[in-house]
Amino acid sequence: MQLAVWTYEGPPHVGAMRVATAMEGIHFLLHAPQGDTYADLLFTMIERRAKRPPVTYTTFQARDLGHDTSQLFQTAAADVIARFAPDALLVGASCTAELIQDDPAGLIEKMGLAVPVIPLELPSYQRKEHWGAAETFYQIVRALADKDVRPAAREGRQACVNLLGPTALGFRHRDDVAEVTGLLARLGIDVNVAAPLGASAADIVRLGAADFNILLYPETGDLAAQYLERTFGQKTIRTIPIGLGATRDFLAEVAALAGVDPAPLLTGEQSRLGWWSRSIDSNYLTGKRVFIFGDATHAVAAARVASEELGFKVVGLGCYNREYARELRVAAKTYGVEPLITDDHLAVEAAIEALQPELVLGTQMERHIAKRFAIPCAVISAPVHVQDFPARHSPQMGFEGANVLFDSWVHPLTMGLEEHLLTMFRDDFEFHDGAGASHLGHQTSLSLRGGVGGGDCPPEATLRIDDSPHPNPSREADGLWTAEAERELKKIPFFVRGKARRNTETYASERGVARIELATLYEAKAHYAR
């Protein structure tokens, strides 16, 4: 089991927590020591839920290992039933409890509890978080869905669907469900059940009443969707409505199954993304090199939006969940890039460093990686942190989601107008690129290598921008650049100066040029502009 400071996915019992916490009236009893009890941190501090997650731990300690821990588990189960009176109880073991080989399923069966009990097998050393969420949701559906429930006759009623896959701690799941529900309502389609997020045990019972299913998040909902297909004969929509094109494809598929006319939603400008991306200053949008990494569903969807709707060039594409590597590889082939399938954030960092993209679309890990390389970044996928749960309505799916994508992805880039202004004010005493941020006054004392100010900096403006991912204090002194070439380089806006420096040095090295002169800089510029 890989141990690292950062992980893309936690153990499978965290996935089970995400499902239990998303639902109403469901409680999760986890056989685990004190060290595995971080549910409160995940859900109340990151997602900012207004109530504690419905998770109880046995919290056995080292001294308990010499005694009968099974009795500890059974006592905890009885306490949960008495205190919380759940409609259904999930039981499982964490990675630590797995090592002592207690059997929560067998122990709970002996108690003969009056509530439905759903035992979970969560192999912590073989599987990860998304699998744990998918398996938990599948087991809940398998245990609670009434096999005798079927859709009512269509005469005199609207079509109804199930929305499958949203969980607690998911990236914009809450807002996506609201946005998709609104789109379906405009088509005259009702939502029977959205699950697990917001669903109760009674809701799961009536899943069979839907005419068909919509799979919003395959990583967590696909196992349940397959079960419903086999058991109830329900068809499943698997197109993910992220971006304008995918949203239109999604609505056309939904309308065809529901027997309704999608035209009112497919005509006209439903989102600002299309026109805005066509009308925007191409200097800072068209052809921007973008690196994309996340869970497979969001990464593949993001690549389509970036390439087809925003005019970006996809230079890197990857995911961390190997279960969906096939879909990612197909998409990577479409964009002519090598797929990156890994859960090692250091491998992702190395790829970003090698490719030097102008924009990164990723997880919270890529946010930190991009920050170190001074590359703009937008988060598109879990794992995420508290800032990715905004108070405002901020979906990724549907037409409004496309607007959110435009704002989130494009605004971190520098606009063409900004480029002109930066050039105009390069030598200004207050706004030159060696000065600190204006809202910080003149208190900034950070001093990094680079000396990138375009003129004489006043004594109080001590900020220096690092224009390289690998600081090398002796580079100016090693005689590689002539003074004239260095002065010309400093005329380039700071946010692309590092790239210009690296490209020029690469060009010189490949041609055996020992000293970069003004002509070398211009030759390199012309070479990379082709």
In sequence order, the 6+-apart residues with CB closer than 8 A to the CB of 121 are 92, 105, 135
Indicate the angle between helix axes 345-355 and 364-372, nearest 10 degrees: 40
Of the candidates 353, 413, 417, 337, the residue with the CA atom closest to the CA atom of residue 377: 413
Task: Using alpha carbons, list the distances in angstroms from residue 480 to 410, 469, 471, 517, 524.
Answer: 36, 18, 15, 9, 15
Q: Is the Cα dihedral 330, 334, 336, 337 positive or negative?
A: negative
Q: What whole-number distance in Å separates Cα of residue 453 and Cα of residue 234?
A: 64
Task: Using alpha carbons, list the distances in angstroms from residue 447 to 251, 427, 434, 464.
Answer: 53, 19, 10, 5
Residue 113 contacts residue 89 (beta carbons within 8 Å): yes
Indicate the angle between helix axes 218-232 and 296-304, nearest 10 degrees: 100
Residue 220 contacts residue 190 (beta carbons within 8 Å): no
Q: What whole-number distance in Å separates Cα of residue 219 and Cα of residue 390?
A: 23
Q: What whole-number distance in Å separates Cα of residue 328 and Cα of residue 313?
A: 17
User: 414: part of which helix (H) or strand (E)?
Assistant: none
Q: Is 203 a known active-site residue?
A: no
Catalytic residue among 211, 281, 343, 456: 281
Q: What whole-number distance in Å separates Cα of residue 140 and Cα of residue 154?
A: 28
Q: What is the DSSP string of 13-58?
A: HHHHHHHHHHSBSEEEEEE-BGGG--HHIIIIIIS--SS--SEEE-
Task: Using alpha carbons, list the distances in angstroms from residue 462 to 144, 422, 431, 494.
Answer: 65, 18, 13, 15
Q: Locate tokens 């009536």: which residue? A: 206
Task: Using alpha carbons, list the distances in angstroms from residue 252 to 236, 249, 318, 449.
Answer: 14, 5, 29, 55
For 500, phi then psi, to 5°, come to: -60, -40
Q: What whole-number distance in Å separates Cα of residue 190 and Cα of residue 163?
A: 11
Residue type, 412: P
Q: Which residues are catalytic?
A: 281
